[in-house]
C-alpha cells in the first residue's frame, strides 16, 4: 500500500462531526474515485491527506511509515499534491512561470526563464499534457488552467495527485481530454484520487471507488463491471431514489421576458461582455442557458436583475420596459436564485426568519407603515420552513448553522413564495447533494407547470438537458445557438459551447 | 440560553480582565485590593459616586449608540467627534442668544444640536451619493474640519472675552438642565435613546433593511432594499445621536458653554464602546456605563494609591483589550471543549 | 438663618481642619513642561518635605471630560486643593459648592463663587512681562551682540489667545516701549499648550520676520521656541520657571511666575491661621512672586552694565516707581 489512512476522525469545533472512523488506502498507479454527497466528508478527508487540516484522531502511513502531515509542505515532501476546485494561479504570468513559481531553477541566484520554459515543456510532453507552456495563463480556458495546476504538482515530483471535482466546470469534450491525460499519468506510475459525484464519469475511469456517506465509509469497491450507477447512488444516499425527471412538454404561453439587442461593454477594458443578446422566455416554459463559464452568463443575470446597467438594448418583462429600473423596482416582477448563495442569496449571520422575509418585507402584511410585523414574520417563516422542509431548530436559528442544501432551500423558499411571473435560476443546484438537487428540479418543473417563466443558467449540461424546453448557448457574450434538447444530443450542445463545428 | 450565554461570557471576560490588570498592578508594587477598592469606592461605592458615574456615561452612551447603529448597518461613520462638536457649538451659541421659555428652549436646543450633528454627517452622505466618496474617509476628514471650524467660531465670533480659555459665553442659566437625586436628566434622555435605537433596529422595516445591509450589502441590494436611502438615513440618525450628545453636554454637563477641547475623547470612546459591544444596542449601553465607571473611578484610584495617571490609562487599555480578547477567547475555548467531548463520544 | 448655619459649619470646619494633612494639586494640563505646572509641583513636593503632609497630583492633560471627576475626587480625598483651573472655572465653582468645608485655592486666575468659598492667587503677570519686554527691547537694539540685526523687532509666542496671555503681551509691549518706542512687537498664538513642534515653527517664523528675541508664553509648546533660538542663533526669553539653563547661551532670562513659592506661602498662611477664604491674593514683583531669572547664563550673554540697568528697572517696578498698566479685557 502506498498510503493508508486508518481510523480517521475529524470534529470541527464546536460539534460538527465530519469524519467517523474512516479507513482509506491508495495503491501505486491506480485511479481511485472518492464519491459521496456534499457534506459526506470527501473534502475533509482529502484536506487531511494534503496537510491542510489535521485529523482529530487516527493515523496516516505512507509507504508503511507512520507520518504526521502538518502542512502542505510536508505533504509535498511525501509526494502528495492536491489540485483544488478554485485554481490558484497568477493570471498575468506565463504558464511555465506559474508552474515553477516558488521553486524556480536558478543559477548563482539568477532566474533562468529559458531553462524553466524548456523544463516545463519536456515535463508536459513526458506526461502527455497538451498545453502551450509559453501562453499567458489568464488567456487559457478553465480546462487549460487545470492542466497548469496538474503540471505544477508534477513539477514538484508528486506521486499522488488529488483532483477535487475537476470536471465541474468542463464541457464533455474537455472532460474526455482530461480523462485521457489521467490515464497517461497512471501509465507513468502516478496515483490519482478523483473526487466527484458524477457517477458515470467515476464508473468510466476509476480502478477502485470509495463511497462516503455522512462522514462514514460505506465501502471501497473494485470497478470491474460488477457495480452499477444505481448501486453506487444507493450507497451514497442510503435509499433508492429516481434520478429521472418527467418532461411533459406543454404549449408555451405569452412571452414574459423579452430581451432585445442587449450589450454590455466593460468600461475599463472596452471588452464586450454582452454582445447583442436576444432572447425570449414564455410563460410555462423553462429556458436554459448553456455555456462554458465566463462567457457572459453572469453578466446577463446581473443586467437582468439590475445590478449593472446595460450599454444598450432593452429588457421587457410582461410588456413593461424595465431597462432603467433599479433592483428594488424590478423585484416586483422577478424572483431570483443567485449562483452565490453565501454572498448574494443569504445573510449568513442573520436568522432564518430574517432571510426568509427579505423582499417580502416591502409589502403588507409584513410591512405596516413604519413597522415590520414581527408576529406575521414569524408565522410566515414557520410556514415556509414547514412547506419547504427546511431542517432547522426554528425560525430564529442562524442560517450559517444550516447545511448547504438547507441554506439553498431557504433561498428557494423565499423566492418561490414571492410568486413572481419570471424566475431567474443561476446554478441553483451547484454544490447540492443528490436529494436536494432532485428536490430543486421538482420545484423547477412545478413552477413551469404553474405557468411561470423560468430562465435557468447551469454549468451542468445534464441538468439543462433534463429540465429545459429550449436551450440558448452563450459564447463570448453572444447567443450562438438556440437548441431543442429533445432533438439534439448533449455533445452537439458541447460543440456549440466550444465553438467547433460538429 | 440564547441570551444567558453572552451575559455569562461578558461577566467572565470582565473578571478575567481585572485579574490580568491585577498582575500589572502587582508588578507596579501596589496592592490590587487597594486599587480596586478605590475604583469601587469612587466609581460605585456610594450614591454620590454612582450618580457621578451615570453622569459621566451619558455622552458615551450616545456616541456609542451613534457608532453601533452605523456599524451594525455596515456604514462606517467615524465622524462622531465632529458631529459631537457641531451639536455642542450650535447648542451653546443658540443657548446664549435664544430667548424662549425654558420648557420649550431646552428640548429645542437639544434637538437643534442633534440636527447640527445630523447635518454634518449628512455632508458625508451627500459626498457618498454624489461623488461615491467612501464615508470611512469623509467622516474622518470632516472631524478635522469640525475641530478647526468650531474652535475658530469659539475663539473669534462667539468668544466670551472674560473667559480664560477660548470659549463661548455661558448659556442662559434658566436653560441649565437639572438632575433627579443627582442623576442628570440627560442620562435619562440617553437611556430613552437606547430604547429608541432598539426599536428602530428591531421593529421598523428600515431598521431591518439597515441591519441586513450590515450583514451583507449585496444580499440587501439584490433583495430590493433601497441601500442608498438606507445609508443616508443611518448616517443622519447616527450623526443626530452624536450631535445630541454634544448638545446635552452643554445643557446638562458641567461647562454650560463651548470651550476648547470640549469634545475630549467622547467620539473615539464611542467607537471603542461599539466595538466592545459588538454593535448591540443594549450592550452599548452597558459598556458605556462600564467606561463611565472606569473613567470616574480611575481618578479615585490615582488618589488613593498614588499610581501615576499614565498607569491608570494603561490599566484601562489592558482591561478593554483583555475584555475583547477574552470574549472571543471564551467562545473558541467552549467550541474547542465541545469538539473534544464530541470526539470523546466517537472514539470512547 | 440658612446663611447663619452655613457660617457655623464653615467656622466649625476650619477649626476641625486646623491641621490639614492631605493636599491635592489639580491641573488642567500635564506635568513635564519645565515651567508653569512643574513649578507648582515643586512647591507641592516641598510641602510634603517640610510639613509632612500627603500630597497627590491630578493631571487632566487638557481633557475637559476629566475636570469634573478630578475635582470631585480631589474634594473627597484632600483637605486643601490647589487648582490650576484654566477652562474649568465653572466646574470648580460647582464642586466647591458641594464641598464647602474644604479649602480651595485657585491659582493664576480669579474664580469667585457667591458664597466666598474659593480663594484665588492672581499674578500681576503684566509686571513680569514688562521686564521681559525691557530685556527684549534692550537686546534687539544692541546690534554689537552676535546675531542681532538692525531691525527693531521682537516677538512672542502665546499658547491660546486668552486673557492671561493677552495680559502678558500687554505688559511685554509696555516694557519694550519703555526702552524704545520704535520697537515693534509681533505675536503668534499657536493654540496649543503641549506641542513643542508648533511652538518651534511659530518661533522660526518670527525670527524669519526679523525678530531677534522671542518671548515664549506657551508652557510646553514654548519649549520649541527655545529650540528654535538655538537653531537659528537668536535669543529667547523663558517663562514661569527658570529656563535659562535649558538652552545655555540662547535663553537670556526667564519671566518667573513662582507658582511653587505661592503655593508654599499660601499653605503656610493656612497653618498660621492668617489665610482668608474667598480672598484674591494678588502677587507681583513686589511680593517676589513675579520677576526675572538672572543668573550666570544671563551674565554670559549680557554685559554687567546692562544687567545692572535691568535690575534697577525691576526694583523700580517693585517699589511702584514704574507703574505697569494691568490688562483689561
Q: Which domains does chain A have, with CATH numbers?
A: 3-237 (3.40.50.300), 255-498 (3.40.50.300)
Provide the greatest CA pair distance for chain C: 72
Exposure b/e, A57-88, CB count within 10 A at least 16 = b: bbebebeeeebebeeeeebbebbbbbbbeebe
Fold of C2-123+260-283: Rossmann fold (3.40.50)
Residue A208 has pLDDT above 70, yes or no: yes
The length of chain C is: 329
Q: Do A347 and B338 touch (CB under 8 A)?
A: no
Q: How far is C198 from chain B (nearest CA, A)?
A: 15
Q: What is the mean pLDDT of residues C296-324?
A: 93
Q: How many structural domains comprise chain B?
A: 1
* pLDDT for position A243: 46
Q: Does the structure show a pLDDT above 60 at C12?
A: no
Q: Look at residue C183 and tell me whether its pLDDT is greater than 80.
A: yes
Per-residue pLDDT, averaged over A50-68, amounts to 91
Asked whether the beta carbons of A140 and A95 are under 8 A apart, the reply is: yes
Mind listing the pLDDT tens digit for each residue in B239-287? Answer: 999 999 999 999 998 889 999 888 889 999 999 999 888 899 999 999 9
Q: Considering only CA atoms, which of C14, C111, C34, C39 is closest in space to residue C71?
A: C111
**Stretch 208-237 of chain B: residues touching chain A, C-beta under 8 Å:** 208-209, 211-212, 215-216, 218-226
B344 touches chain A (CB under 8 A): no
Q: Do chains B and C touch (3 or more CB pairs under 8 A)?
A: yes
Q: Is C144 exposed, middle or buried (0-12, 13-18, 19+ CB in 10 A)?
A: exposed
CB atoms within 10 A of CB B218: 16
Give the CATH superfamily of C125-257+294-319. Answer: Response regulator (3.40.50.2300)
Mean pLDDT of C210-229: 93
What per-residue confidence (pLDDT) applies to A118? 86
Quick check: A9 and B346 CB within 8 A?
yes
Residues A348, B215: C-beta atoms closer than 8 Å:
yes
Q: What DSSP character marks residue C222?
A: G
DSSP A429: T
Sequence-distant (6+) residues with CB within 8 A of B72 are B201, B210, B211, B214, B279, B280
Per-residue b or e along A216-255, where b marks 16 or more CB atoms closer than 10 Å to that residue's CB: ebbeebebeeebeeeebbebbbeeeeeeeeeeeeeebeeb
Residues in chain B within 8 Å Cβ distance of C162: 163-166
The beta-carbon neighbor of A11 closest among B209, B223, B342 is B342
User: Quick one: pLDDT at residue C202?
Assistant: 95
Q: Is A287 helix (H, G, I), strand (E, B) or coil?
A: strand
What does B253-322 look like in DSSP terms, one character per residue?
A: SS--S-BTTTTTTHHHHHHHHHHHTTT-HHHHHHHHHHHHHHHHHHHHHHHHH---HHHHHHHHHHHHHH
CA atoms within 13 A on the CB side of A292: 20
Determine whether the interchain pair B335/A13 forms a contact, defined as Cβ–Cβ distance below 8 Å.
yes
**Of A22-26, A70-74, C263-267, C316-320, minimum mean pLDDT range:** A70-74
pLDDT value of position A96: 87
Which range has the worst mean pLDDT, A484-498, B190-204, C148-162, C243-257? A484-498
Measured between beta carbons, the chain C residues lying within 8 angstroms of B81 are none
Question: Which one, of B121, B13, B11, lies nearest residue B69 by Cα?
Answer: B121
Q: Which secondary-structure segment (H or E) carries A280?
A: strand A272-282
Residues of B in contact with A417 (CB under 8 A): none
Name the pLDDT band for A152 (thresholds 50, 70, 90).
confident
Q: Do residues A366 and A360 touch, judged by C-beta distance below 8 A? A: yes
Residue A41's pLDDT is what?
Answer: 85
A/C Cβ contact: 3+ pairs below 8 Å: no
Say if C72 is an interface residue toward chain B (CB within 8 Å).
Answer: yes
- Residue B6 belongs to a domain: no
pLDDT above 60 (res B191): yes
Residue B309: pLDDT band (50, 70, 90) is low
> Is residue B167 in some structural domain?
yes
Tell me the percentage of chain A whose pLDDT exceeds 90.
36
Query: Do strands A334-337 and B183-184 pair parallel, antiparallel, or not at all (unpaired)?
Result: unpaired
Per-residue pLDDT tens for C59-117? 888 888 889 989 999 999 999 999 998 888 889 999 999 999 999 999 998 999 989 99
Query: What is the Cα–Cα distance from B262 to B257, expressed in whole angstroms?
Result: 9
Residue bearing the bigger pLDDT, B84 or A101: B84
Cell numbers that stand for A67 in this block: 507520518
Q: How confident is the model at residue A439 (pLDDT cuts 50, 70, 90)?
A: confident
Q: Do B219 and A56 touch (CB under 8 A)?
A: no
pLDDT exceeding 70 applies to what percent of chain C? 95
Pinpoint the residues of chain C covered by CATH 3.40.50.2300: 2-123+260-283, 125-257+294-319
Best of B73, B223, B230, B341 to substitute, by most chain A Cβ atoms within 10 angstroms, is B223
Whether A97 has a pLDDT exceeding 90, the answer reads no
Instruction: Decide if C58 and B300 are in contact by the 8 Å CB cutoff.
Output: no
Mean pLDDT value across residues A63-87 = 87
Mean of per-residue pLDDT scores for chain B: 90
**Closest chain B CA to residue A367:** B205
What pTM, to 2 d.p., does this model score?
Answer: 0.81
> What pLDDT is recorded for position B1?
40
**What is the pLDDT at residue C61?**
86
Q: Which of A244-253, B167-176, C255-264 has the lowest mean pLDDT?
A: A244-253
Domain of B197 in residue numbering reads as: 57-275
Average pLDDT, chain A: 86
Determine contact, residues A35/A212, Cβ cutoff 8 Å. yes
Chain B residues in contact with A396 (beta carbon < 8 A): 2
Report the pLDDT value the prediction gives residue A173, as an integer from 0 to 100.
83
| Spatial contact of A423 and A455, defined as CB atoms under 8 Å apart | yes
Distance of alpha carbon B259 from its chain centroid, rounded?
A: 20
d(CA A493, CA A471): 9
B19 in any annotated domain: no
| Cα separation, A388 vs A409, whole angstroms | 7
Residue B226 · residue B92 · CB < 8 Å: no
**What percent of chain C is modeled with pLDDT above 90?**
72
| Residues of chain B numbered 282-341 and touching chain A (CB < 8 Å) | 332, 334-336, 338-341
Contacts of B257 in chain C (CB under 8 A): 90
B346–A11 CB contact, under 8 Å: yes
Whether B328 maps to a domain, the answer reads no
pLDDT at C6: 59
- Asked which of A170-179, A205-214, C239-248 is least confident by mean pLDDT, the reply is A170-179
Residue A95 has pLDDT above 90, yes or no: no
Burial level of C184, CB count in 10 A (0-12/13-18/19+)?
A: middle
A335/A328 Cα distance (integer angstroms): 12
Q: Select the residue from C72, C74, C159, C218 to test the B interface by mutation, using most B Cβ atoms within 10 A.
A: C72
CA distances from B282 to A376, B164, B172, C240 (A): 25, 40, 34, 50
The answer to whether A366 touches A357, Cβ cutoff 8 Å, is yes
* Rounded distance between C-alpha atoms, residue B126 and residue B135, angstroms: 10
Name every residue whose Cβ is closer than 8 Å to that of residue A278 and which is 6 or more positions away in sequence: A259, A260, A261, A262, A479
Instruction: Assess if residue B152 is contained within a domain.
Output: yes
The pairing of beta strand A367-368 with beta strand A371-372: antiparallel
A residues 207..246 contacting B (CB < 8 A): none
> Closest chain B residue to C87 measured between Cα atoms?
B165
pLDDT band at residue A252 using 50, 70 and 90 as cut-offs: confident
**Does A381 lie at the interface with B, CB-CB under 8 angstroms?**
no
Range of lowest pLDDT (B279-283, B339-343, C276-280)? B339-343
Q: Which residue has the cell 458615574?
A: B53
Chains that touch C (3 or more CB pairs under 8 A): B
**Do A327 and A487 contact (CB within 8 A), yes or no?**
no
Q: Could you tell me if residue B89 is inside a domain?
A: yes
* Confidence band, pLDDT 50/70/90 cuts, at residue A344: very high
**Burial of C300: CB neighbours in 10 Å, binned 0-12, 13-18, 19+:** exposed
Residue C285 Cα, gap to closest chain B Cα (Å): 22
Least confident range from A65-74, A120-129, A282-291: namely A120-129
Q: Does C150 touch chain B (CB under 8 A)?
A: no
Q: C209-245: b or e for each residue (b if 16 or more CB lie within 10 Å)?
A: ebbbbbbbbbbbbbbbbbbbbbeeebbbbbbbbbbbe
CA distances to B36, C30, C71, C81 from B310, rounded to whole Å, are: 17, 11, 18, 21
The pLDDT value given to residue A241: 47
**Residue A240 pLDDT level (bands cut at 50, 70, 90):** very low
C68 touches chain B (CB under 8 A): yes
Parallel, antiparallel, or unpaired for β C103-107 and C153-158?
unpaired
- Closest CA relative to residue A455, chosen from A437, A446, A467: A467
- Whether residue B346 and residue A57 make contact (CB cut-off 8 A), yes or no, is yes
Q: Give the minimum alpha-carbon distance from A7 to chain B in angstroms, rounded to a whole number.
A: 9
d(CA C235, CA C216): 11
Amino acid at each position: 500500500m502506498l498510503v493508508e489512512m486508518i481510523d480517521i476522525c475529524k470534529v470541527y469545533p464546536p460539534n460538527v462531526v465530519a469524519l467517523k472512523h474512516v479507513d482509506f488506502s491508495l495503491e501505486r498507479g491506480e485511479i481511485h474515485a472518492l464519491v459521496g454527497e456534499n457534506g459526506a466528508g470527501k473534502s475533509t478527508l482529502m484536506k487531511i491527506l494534503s496537510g491542510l487540516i489535521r485529523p482529530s484522531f487516527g493515523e496516516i502511513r505512507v509507504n508503511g511509515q507512520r507520518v504526521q502531515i502538518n502542512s502542505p509542505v510536508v505533504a509535498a515532501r511525501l509526494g502528495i499534491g492536491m489540485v483544488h476546485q478554485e485554481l490558484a494561479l497568477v493570471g498575468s504570468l506565463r504558464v511555465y512561470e506559474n508552474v515553477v513559481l516558488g521553486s524556480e531553477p536558478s543559477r548563482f541566484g539568477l532566474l533562468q526563464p529559458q531553462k524553466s520554459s524548456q523544463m516545463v515543456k519536456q515535463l508536459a510532453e513526458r506526461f502527455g499534457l497538451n498545453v502551450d507552456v509559453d501562453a499567458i495563463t489568464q488567456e487559457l480556458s478553465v480546462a487549460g488552467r487545470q492542466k497548469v495546476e496538474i503540471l505544477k504538482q508534477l513539477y514538484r515530483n508528486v506521486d499522488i495527485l488529488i483532483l477535487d471535482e475537476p470536471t465541474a466546470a468542463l464541457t464533455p469534450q474537455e472532460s474526455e481530454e482530461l480523462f485521457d491525460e489521467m490515464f497517461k499519468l497512471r501509465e507513468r506510475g502516478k496515483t490519482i484520487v478523483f473526487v466527484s459525484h458524477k457517477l458515470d464519469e467515476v464508473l468510466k475511469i476509476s480502478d477502485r471507488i470509495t463511497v462516503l456517506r455522512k462522514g462514514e465509509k460505506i465501502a471501497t469497491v473494485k470497478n470491474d463491471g460488477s457495480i452499477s450507477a444505481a448501486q453506487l447512488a444507493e450507497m451514497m444516499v442510503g435509499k433508492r431514489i429516481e434520478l429521472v425527471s418527467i418532461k411533459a412538454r406543454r404549449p408555451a404561453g405569452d412571452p414574459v421576458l423579452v430581451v432585445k439587442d442587449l450589450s454590455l461593454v466593460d468600461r475599463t477594458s472596452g471588452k464586450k461582455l454582452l454582445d447583442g443578446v436576444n432572447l425570449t422566455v414564455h410563460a410555462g416554459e423553462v429556458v436554459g442557458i448553456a455555456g462554458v463559464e465566463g462567457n457572459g452568463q453572469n453578466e446577463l443575470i446581473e443586467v437582468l436583475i439590475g445590478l449593472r446597467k446595460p450599454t444598450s438594448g432593452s429588457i421587457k418583462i410582461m410588456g413593461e420596459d424595465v431597462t432603467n429600473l433599479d433592483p428594488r423596482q424590478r423585484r416586483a416582477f422577478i424572483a431570483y436564485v443567485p449562483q452565490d448563495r453565501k454572498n448574494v442569496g443569504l445573510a449568513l449571520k442573520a436568522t432564518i426568519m430574517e432571510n426568509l422575509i427579505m423582499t417580502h418585507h416591502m409589502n403588507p402584511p409584513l410591512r405596516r407603515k413604519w413597522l415590520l410585523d414581527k408576529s406575521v414574520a414569524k408565522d410566515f417563516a414557520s410556514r415556509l420552513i414547514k412547506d419547504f422542509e427546511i431542517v432547522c431548530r426554528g425560525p430564529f436559528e442562524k442560517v450559517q448553522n444550516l447545511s448547504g442544501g438547507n441554506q439553498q432551500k431557504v433561498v428557494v423558499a423565499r423566492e418561490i413564495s414571492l410568486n413572481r411571473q419570471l424566475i431567474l435560476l443561476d446554478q441553483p443546484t451547484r454544490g447540492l447533494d443528490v436529494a436536494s438537487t432532485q428536490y430543486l428540479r421538482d420545484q423547477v418543473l412545478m413552477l413551469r407547470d404553474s405557468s411561470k417563466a423560468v430562465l435557468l443558467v447551469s454549468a451542468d449540461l445534464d441538468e439543462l438537458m433534463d429540465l429545459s424546453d429550449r436551450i440558448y448557448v452563450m459564447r463570448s457574450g453572444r447567443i450562438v445557438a438556440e437548441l431543442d434538447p429533445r432533438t439534439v444530443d448533449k455533445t452537439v450542445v458541447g460543440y456549440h459551447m466550444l465553438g467547433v463545428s460538429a | 440560553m440564547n441570551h444567558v450565554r453572552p451575559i455569562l461570557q461578558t461577566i467572565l471576560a470582565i473578571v478575567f480582565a481585572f485579574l490580568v490588570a491585577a498582575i500589572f498592578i502587582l508588578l507596579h508594587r501596589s496592592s490590587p485590593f487597594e486599587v480596586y477598592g478605590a475604583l469601587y469606592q469612587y466609581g460605585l461605592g456610594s450614591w454620590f459616586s454612582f450618580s457621578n458615574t451615570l453622569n459621566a456615561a451619558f455622552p458615551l452612551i450616545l456616541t456609542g449608540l451613534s457608532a453601533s447603529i452605523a456599524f451594525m448597518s455596515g456604514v462606517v461613520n467615524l465622524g462622531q467627534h465632529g458631529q459631537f462638536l457641531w451639536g455642542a457649538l450650535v447648542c451653546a451659541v443658540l443657548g446664549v442668544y435664544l430667548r424662549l421659555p425654558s420648557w420649550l428652549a431646552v428640548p429645542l436646543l437639544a434637538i437643534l444640536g442633534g440636527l447640527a450633528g445630523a447635518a454634518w454627517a449628512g455632508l458625508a452622505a451627500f459626498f457618498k451619493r454624489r461623488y461615491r466618496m467612501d464615508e470611512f474617509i469623509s467622516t474622518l476628514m470632516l472631524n478635522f474640519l469640525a475641530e478647526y471650524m468650531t474652535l475658530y467660531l469659539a475663539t473669534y465670533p462667539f468668544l466670551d472675552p472674560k473667559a480664560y480659555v477660548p470659549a463661548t459665553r455661558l448659556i442662559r442659566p434658566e436653560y441649565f438642565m437639572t438632575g433627579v437625586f443627582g442623576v442628570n436628566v440627560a442620562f435619562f434622555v440617553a437611556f430613552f435613546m437606547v430604547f429608541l435605537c432598539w426599536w428602530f433596529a428591531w421593529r421598523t422595516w428600515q431598521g431591518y433593511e439597515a441591519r441586513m445591509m450590515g450583514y451583507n450589502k449585496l444580499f440587501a441590494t439584490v433583495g430590493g432594499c433601497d441601500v442608498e436611502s438606507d445609508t443616508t438615513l443611518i448616517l443622519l440618525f447616527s450623526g443626530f445621536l452624536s450631535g445630541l450628545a454634544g448638545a446635552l453636554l452643554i445643557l446638562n454637563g458641567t461647562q454650560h458653554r463651548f470651550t476648547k477641547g470640549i469634545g475630549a475623547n467622547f467620539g473615539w470612546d464611542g467607537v471603542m464602546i461599539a466595538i466592545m459591544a459588538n454593535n448591540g444596542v443594549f450592550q452599548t449601553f452597558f459598556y458605556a456605563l462600564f467606561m463611565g465607571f472606569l473613567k470616574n473611578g480611575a481618578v479615585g484610584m490615582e488618589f488613593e494609591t498614588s499610581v501615576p495617571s499614565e498607569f491608570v490609562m494603561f490599566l484601562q487599555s489592558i482591561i478593554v483589550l483583555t475584555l475583547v480578547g477574552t470574549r472571543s477567547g471564551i467562545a473558541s475555548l467552549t467550541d474547542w471543549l465541545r469538539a473534544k467531548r464530541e470526539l470523546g463520544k466517537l472514539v470512547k | 438663618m440658612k446663611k447663619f448655619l452655613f457660617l457655623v459649619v464653615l467656622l466649625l470646619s476650619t477649626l476641625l481642619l486646623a491641621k490639614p494633612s492631605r493636599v491635592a494639586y489639580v491641573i488642567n494640563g500635564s506635568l513635564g513642561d519645565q515651567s508653569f505646572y512643574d513649578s507648582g509641583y515643586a512647591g507641592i513636593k516641598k510641602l510634603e518635605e517640610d510639613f509632612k503632609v500627603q500630597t497627590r497630583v491630578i493631571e487632566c492633560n487638557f481633557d475637559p471630560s476629566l475636570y469634573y471627576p478630578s475635582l470631585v475626587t480631589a474634594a473627597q480625598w484632600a483637605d486643601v486643593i490647589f487648582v490650576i483651573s484654566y477652562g474649568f472655572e465653572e466646574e470648580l465653582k460647582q464642586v466647591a459648592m458641594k464641598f464647602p468645608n474644604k479649602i480651595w485655592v485657585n491659582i493664576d486666575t480669579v474664580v469667585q463663587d457667591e458664597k466666598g468659598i474659593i480663594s484665588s492667587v492672581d499674578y500681576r503677570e503684566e509686571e513680569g512681562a514688562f521686564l521681559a519686554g525691557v530685556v527684549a527691547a534692550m537686546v534687539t537694539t544692541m546690534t554689537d551682540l552676535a546675531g542681532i540685526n538692525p531691525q527693531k523687532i521682537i516677538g512672542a509666542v502665546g499658547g491660546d489667545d486668552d486673557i492671561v496671555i493677552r495680559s502678558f503681551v500687554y505688559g511685554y509691549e509696555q516694557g519694550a516701549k519703555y526702552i524704545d518706542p520704535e520697537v515693534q512687537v509681533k505675536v503668534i498664538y499657536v493654540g496649543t499648550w503641549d506641542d513643542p513642534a508648533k511652538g518651534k515653527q511659530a518661533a522660526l517664523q518670527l525670527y524669519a520676520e526679523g525678530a531677534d528675541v522671542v518671548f515664549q508664553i506657551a508652557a510646553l509648546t514654548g519649549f520649541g521656541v527655545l529650540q528654535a533660538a538655538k537653531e537659528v542663533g537668536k535669543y529667547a526669553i523663558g517663562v514661569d520657571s527658570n529656563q535659562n539653563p535649558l538652552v545655555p547661551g540662547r535663553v537670556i532670562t526667564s519671566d518667573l511666575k513662582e507658582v511653587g513659592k505661592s503655593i508654599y506661602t499660601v499653605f503656610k498662611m493656612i497653618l498660621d491661621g492668617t489665610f482668608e477664604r474667598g480672598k484674591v491674593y494678588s502677587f507681583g514683583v513686589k511680593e517676589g512672586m513675579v520677576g526675572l531669572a538672572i543668573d550666570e547664563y544671563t551674565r554670559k550673554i549680557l554685559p554687567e552694565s546692562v544687567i545692572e540697568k535691568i535690575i534697577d528697572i525691576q526694583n523700580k517696578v517693585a517699589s511702584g516707581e514704574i507703574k505697569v498698566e494691568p490688562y483689561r479685557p
